[in-house]
Structure 1
Amino acid sequence: MMQSDCFQSEAETPWEDAGPGIQRQVYGYGDPLMLVKAKFEKGAEGVPHQHPHAQATYVASGSFEMTIGDQKKVVVAGDGFYVAPHIWHGCVCLEEGMLIDAFSPCREDFL
Structure 2
Amino acid sequence: MPLQWEQVVVDAADPVTLGRWWAAALDWVVVNDDPDEFEIQPSPGRLPGLIFVPVAEPRTVKNRMHLDFRPQDRDAEVDRLRALGATLADVGQGDVSWVVLADPEGNEFCVLSGRPATDD
Report the TM-score when normalising by structure 2. Answer: 0.23
Greater share of strand: 1
Greater per-residue helix proportion: 2
Q: TM-score, normalised by structure 1?
A: 0.24
Larger Rg: 2
Greater relative contact order (CA < 8 Å, ≥ 6 in sequence): 1
